[in-house]
Structure formats: C-alpha cells, structure tokens
Chains A and B, each alone.
Chain A
Amino acid sequence: MTDPIAKGTPSRCLPLLCLGALLGTVAFPVVAGHEGATSGSFGMGEFVMAPLEGKQGVTVDGKVTSGEYGPYGRWMDEDTGFTGNFAHDNDSLFVALSNPKPGWVALGFSSDLDVGMEFIVVGESGGRLQAVERVVSNLSGDLAFAAPPASDASPLETFNESGTGKNITVELRLSLRSSLWSLEPGNITPAIVAFNDTSLALPTNTAGSELHYLRFYPLRAQDDPGEVKRLFAMDTSPVPALVAMALLATGVAFFLRAFLWRRDGKESRVR
C-alpha cells in the first residue's frame, strides 16, 4: 500500500494549522487580559494588612514613631514614596498616611461596591487641615466626592497631622464599624488610597491624583501575620503546569509520528 502522504498534502499542513491555532488562542486572551488589567479592578489590588495591636501601641499624634506600627501593617507606593501604616484593636482602626509631597490624602473603604465607597479626605480648608467624610458612587475614572447623608454618624474618632510644608503626615483613628463601613477582622474589604502631589486644598474629585486600589485585611487574633503575608503574596509556580503540558505535548507528538506521519512505503513501528 503506497503511502498517500507526499509533499504539500494537507496532512503536512496539520502542524502549521495547530501552530496557528495555538498562536491565535494565545494572542486573543493576552489582548483581552491586558485590557482587563488596565481597569484597576479590586480583584488585582494589592493586599494591605492591619495587624491587631493593643490600644497602647499607637498614639494618634500625627507622627509615625519607630515601632508604633508593626512591619506587617505598612504599605508603600514605590514610585511616589507615599506610605500607609495600619493597625487595629478590634474596635478602632489606626491609620497613618504619609505623603512626601504637599498634597491632600484620602482613604476609602467599601462594604458594598454596588453602592460605592466612603472616604475620609484630609485637605486644607479655611487655612487649616481638616478631615471630612465623603462618599463616592463611581469607582472608575476620576472619583467625584460628595457629602454623606447628614444622618450618618462619622466613623472618625480622632485626627491629627504634622507637616513641614513639603510633606504631610496624617494620623486617624476610625471606627471599624460605622454607618459608613464595616471592617471585620478576617474579611477582605475593598479600599482606595488617593493622594495629590501639588494641591493641599480639599478636593471635589480625584482628577490629576494618584489612585491605588487595595484589598484591606484586618488580621484576626489567630492569624499569623507572616503566614498571611506569604499567602497574599502567593503566586502559584507555573512549573508543574509547564511540565505536565510538555509531557502531554510529547505524548501527542509521539502519536502523530507513529500513526500519522509514516515514511513512504513503510509502516512505522508503534513503540
């Protein structure tokens, strides 16, 4: 029986077809994934932890002293040098936001992304720095700040600040549970840190400012901060998948060689 395989027959195009399909199926998701990645969704936000500290651990004086906040409660934007320090004592959340530039800062949490997000915005008004509550209903693009309903009790318990005119540090003590949000230890809450590097004035929106979408996690008493940090940083190694795919691809190629691509006039030996 003569082998029907010859140069240029469709059988020899099979590998090209498969390669084309492979490239096509990779290209499309890469494009789609890239578009998704630029939307800044909370699903891809950095994890920020608030360790459980005793009340005596933090003094809300507008300054961050050495050892006041533990190492696991620190978050930093590498590009700008903006830092956030977080801790809680099961009742209150202690936050210190340090802006290396003279600009306003804001911290928001959302218990229900469909409704929006509630912020504490610190900026200059009437010649002095003030901390005010604001609500935001749009969570993409430039966020527009609006005053919360008058009936809502403020989660802000204490506020203090320090600054040299070239930078600003604000320290806040906020209720973990308020009419605006509920930050339960052991639960992830979407959060946004926003700041400006030129304007200290209380903003009406975030145009021209930095926005960082975060996933905020107050630690429980039983959580080991190191293990939780490792979990948050976890990225599954691609090696097992690559090895498995390589084995399967080798097997399929072996079958194609044995059953599909046989030399003219000879039957391939199936091993």
Chain B
Amino acid sequence: MRTLGLWKRFWSILDERLGLEALRYEVPEHGNTLAYTLGGITLFGFVILILTGIILTQFYHPHPAEANGSVRAIMTEVPLGSFIRSVHFWTAHAVVVSVVLHATRVFITAAYKRPREFNWLVGVALLAITIGFFFTGTVLKWDQESFEALEHNIEISNFLGVFGYFFSPGFAASVPLLTRLYSVHVSLLPLLLAFLLLAHVFYIRYFGISPLPWRTKAGTEWPEGPKQPFSNHAKKIAAYGMVVLAIVAVLAFAFPAPLGPEPIEGIEVTKPPWPFLWLFAIENIFGIQWLFPASLTPFLVLVVLPFVDRGDERDPRRRKAFVTLFLLGLAVLFALTLLAALTASRGHLGG
C-alpha cells in the first residue's frame, strides 16, 4: 500500500512535468486485438532494428574493399556480434511481414477512407521506406547477393536517365555507391522514417483508431463500443512485440544471418531475398527493363486507392469488387514469388 502511494506520487510528479496523463486517452477495445496492433508491432520491430543497427555501425566498414570483411569480423570476432547481426536480419524480415499484414488489414477494413486518406498515403510512403531499408541493408553485407542487387540498382538508374542519377555511380565519382547507400541506410531513410512515423502516429491519435467495418452505416459512424485507456493498447503492443522478439531471438540463435564470400564481378548466380523475388520472376519473363515499372505498380495502385474507392461503405462484404481485385493482386505477387523461389537463378544483367 505504501509502495502504491509512493508510485502514485512519483507518477503525479512526472505527469505534472511531462503530461503523461495525456497518454491515457481512450482507445476502442478492438484496437487491442492482434489485427489492429500490427502497426505497433512493426514499430516495435523498427526499434529493435535501430538498436541493433547502432551496434552494428560501430564495427561496419562501408567501403567495397572492407565491407564484407568487416561483416565477417562482426560475425566471428565481435562478442555477440553474430547474434546481434542475426537479430537485425530476422527482425528485418519480420518487419516486412508485419507491415504487409498491417497494410492488408487497413485495406480490408477500409481504414483508408475519409477522413484518413492522407494517413493512408503516409503509410504507403512508410511501406516504401521499409522496402528501401531492406534493399539497402541487403547491399551492405557486400557478398554476391549484395553485388548483384547493386548491379540491378545501377541498371534501373540507367533506364531512368536523369531521374536515376542519384542512384548511379556517376553521381559522386569519388565515393563508392556502396558507401552512399550506407549513408542512405543510416541517415536519410531513418530521418524520413522518423518524420513520417510522427505524422502517422499523430493522425492515428487525431482521427482515432478506425472503427470496425461492420459497425458503420453508410454516411454515419456507429458507436465504437467499450473503450480502454491507451496504456492497455501500449501494453498489448509491447506484449506482442516481445513475442516477436522472442521468435526472432530463437531464429537468430538457430539460423545465423547468412554471409557469402566477396563478390565476383560479371556473374549472376543469386536470387534476390524473398520480398523482391516476384521481381525476379518478372525479369525472367519480361526482361530487366520491366523491373522499375513492375516495382512501381503496387505503390501506384495503393496511392490512388482512396481516390478511386471513395464511397462511405467500409464493410468488405459490400466492397466485393475492390476486395477481389486486392486479393487477386496479392495472389499474383504470391504466385510470382513462389515461381521465382522454385526456379534456378539465371542472368539478366548486361543484356
């Protein structure tokens, strides 16, 4: 009892100065379900990535002559280096899975509709940044997979002409492209991420968590049912996040992050990691020139979605056309990914 009194007093002191009571705003009960905490789980994943990433940057050398060797040193000489790098690796994969599921849930529940269109666009930008993180992170270890990823990046920048200049080696002739991608991975993308996350979280707070789709009538919002304080929501996110962290830790221990030997120029023997495998299938079928348009297409579809599906209806059973098209799109991506996963690697670069 005395401890409780002390804690309440301590809380009151902090709250007076930090405004902590503002965090106890109400959140609908359904906001604490797994489906509605995927965004929070993704954020939790990013926190793990940032913490492990900061440790990795202490030992990583972002020059082509040293990069692979420095990653090898992290794995073999730095205490817990292999585990930390593997946590970073597996969390990156987990974040991609959770962000795609989060976007899928938002779509199915039509949480991109008025007045949340702008927040949807911020979310699409965050998805693009997540993919950008994954790509640049793949390149940094500088093995054969990384080198071929970079070669594809250069081919695409050549296709884009002046618009791809930033991504080409010629942009800064005295600085290797690997080094510039490292600076993007540790400075530009985190900056964009922080800014957009702030906006994303602000608008979630401003508009509130979207109501359940079958609780709305066309043109009106139904009562959202029981509510709970935000602290419960945060606890749920933390709990789910810890589960993900535990799974990632087990994976990191059992399956350390892979690292190939230094790359050999002029060969193409690897396939991209699974988030980009569907593009590998596109390359096989249509050629490398379709890489950029293909990778842009899903984002364009997501961007225009709130402006095409403008009705007030949120129930997915009453939006069959859009839901069907979305699922078909997912099915196509799944099929292309599976096809690429089961196909032998082949060359595309250099015509």
Chain A contacts to B: CB under 8 angstroms: 1, 4-5, 10-11, 14, 17-18, 21-22, 25-26, 29-30, 32-33, 36, 41-44, 47, 186-188, 215, 217, 223-224, 227-228, 230-232, 234-236, 238, 240-242, 244-245, 247-249, 251-252, 254-256, 258-260, 262, 267, 270-271
Task: Give the Cβ gap from A29 to chain B, nearest Cβ, in Å.
Answer: 5
B138: shortest Cβ distance to chain A, in Å? 12
Q: How far is the CA of A47 from the CA of B347 in the complex (A)?
A: 12
Stretch among B48-56, B80-88, B158-166, B268-276 lining the A interface: B268-276
Q: List 26 A-B contacts (CB under 8 A).
A: A11-B320, A21-B335, A22-B331, A26-B339, A29-B339, A36-B284, A43-B347, A44-B344, A47-B267, A187-B266, A224-B261, A227-B261, A231-B264, A235-B345, A236-B345, A241-B337, A242-B338, A242-B341, A245-B337, A251-B97, A255-B104, A255-B105, A255-B108, A259-B108, A260-B108, A260-B316
Q: Once the chains bind, are A29 and B281 in contact (CB under 8 Å)?
A: yes
Residues 267 to 301 of chain B near chain A (Cβ within 8 Å): 267-271, 273-275, 277, 281, 284-285
Query: Complex: how many Å from CA A252 to CA B102?
Result: 10
Query: Could you say which residues of chain A place their CB within 8 Å of the CB of B100?
Result: 248
Beyond A43-B346, A247-B97, 14 extra complex contacts between A and B, CB < 8 Å? A21-B332, A29-B336, A30-B339, A44-B346, A188-B266, A230-B261, A234-B260, A245-B337, A248-B101, A252-B104, A252-B330, A255-B104, A260-B108, A270-B36
- Check: B214 CB closer than 8 A to any chain A CB: yes
A248 touches B35 (CB 8 A): no
Cα–Cα, bound, A249→B104 (Å): 11
Whether A14 and B270, one on each chain, are in contact in the complex, defined by CB atoms closer than 8 angstroms, is: no
- Contact surface of B with A, Cβ cutoff 8 Å: 30, 33-36, 93, 96-97, 100-101, 104-105, 108-109, 144-145, 212-214, 260-261, 264-271, 273-275, 277, 281, 284-285, 316-318, 320, 323-324, 327-328, 330-332, 334-348
Q: How far is the CA of A42 from the CA of B343 in the complex (A)?
A: 17
Interface-central residue, B96, B336, B341, by most chain A CB under 10 Å? B341
Asked whether A271 lies within 8 Å of B284 as measured between CB atoms, the reply is: no
Q: What's the least CB distance linking B321 to chain A, in Å?
A: 10
Asked if A33 meets B337 with Cβ closer than 8 Å, knowing A25-B331, A215-B267, A228-B264, the reply is no
Q: Which of A21, A32, A42, A245 contacts B274 (CB 8 A)?
A: A245
Chain A contacts for B96, CB-based, 8 A: 244
Please name the 7 residue pairs, one residue from A and one from B, whose CB atoms are nearest each other, closest first. A43-B347, A241-B274, A238-B341, A241-B341, A25-B335, A251-B101, A188-B266
Complex CA–CA separation, A68 to B268 (angstroms): 30
**Across the interface, do B212 and A270 meet the contact criterion of CB distance under 8 Å?**
yes
In the complex formed, the residue of A with least CB distance to B334 is A245
Bound CA–CA A46/B293 (angstroms): 31
Task: Give the chain B neighbours of A36 by CB distance below 8 A.
Answer: 284
Smallest Cβ-Cβ distance to B328: which chain A residue: A21
- The minimal Cβ–Cβ distance linking A3 to chain B, given in whole angstroms, is 8
B288: min CB distance to chain A, Å: 11
With A248-B100, A267-B214 as contacts: A26 and B335 at CB distance below 8 Å: yes
Whether A217 lies near B108 (C-beta < 8 A) is no
Residues of chain A contacted by B145 (CB below 8 angstroms): 236
Asked if A217 and B330 make an inter-chain contact with CB atoms under 8 angstroms apart, the answer reads no
List the A side residues contacting B320 at CB < 8 Å.
Answer: 10-11, 14
Contacts of A256 in B (CB 8 A): 108, 327
Nearest CB of A to B32, in Å: 10
Q: Is the CB of B269 within 8 A of A232?
A: yes
Which one, A224, A230, A234, A271, contacts B35 given CB within 8 A?
A: A271
**Closest CB of chain B to A22's CB: distance in Å?**
5
Give the distance in Å from the alpha carbon of A230 to the alpha carbon of B258 in the complex: 14
Contact of A244 among B261, B264, B274, B344 (CB under 8 A): B274
Residues from chain B with Cβ under 8 Å of A258 in the complex: 35
Return the contact of B285 from the options A14, A29, A230, A231 (Cβ within 8 A): A29
The interface residues of chain A lying within 8 Å CB-to-CB of B35 are 254-255, 258, 270-271
Cα distance A7–B328 in the bound complex, in angstroms? 22
The CA of A213 and the CA of B100, in the complex, are separated in Å by 41
B34 CB contacts on chain A under 8 angstroms: 271
Select which of A29, A187, A217 is within 8 A of B284 by beta carbon.
Answer: A29
For A217, the chain B residues whose CB sits under 8 A away are 264, 267
* B342 and A234 within 8 A (CB): no
Q: Output the nearest chain A residue to B102 by Cβ-Cβ distance.
A: A251
Looking at the assembled complex, report how far the CB atom of A116 sits from the nearest CB atom of chain B, in whole angstroms.
Answer: 15
Residues of chain B lying within 8 A (CB to CB) of residue A14: 320, 323-324, 327
Residue of B nearest to A261 (CB): B317
User: B residues within 8 A CB of A30?
Assistant: 339
Inter-chain contacts of B30 with A (CB < 8 A): 270
Give the Cβ gap from B65 to chain A, nearest Cβ, in Å: 12
Q: Which residue from chain A places its CB closest to the CB of B269 in the assembled complex?
A: A234
Give the complex CA separation of A215 and B334 in angstroms.
Answer: 32
Chain B residues contacting A227 (CB-CB under 8 Å) are 261
Provide the residues of chain A in CB contact with B284, threshold 8 Å: 29, 32-33, 36
Chain B residues positioned under 8 Å from A252 (CB to CB): 101, 104, 327, 330
Bound state CA distance, A227 and B97, in angstroms?
33
List the A side residues contacting B344 at CB < 8 Å.
44, 235
CA of A254 to CA of B108 in the docked complex: distance in angstroms?
A: 11
A210 vs chain B, min Cβ distance (A): 21
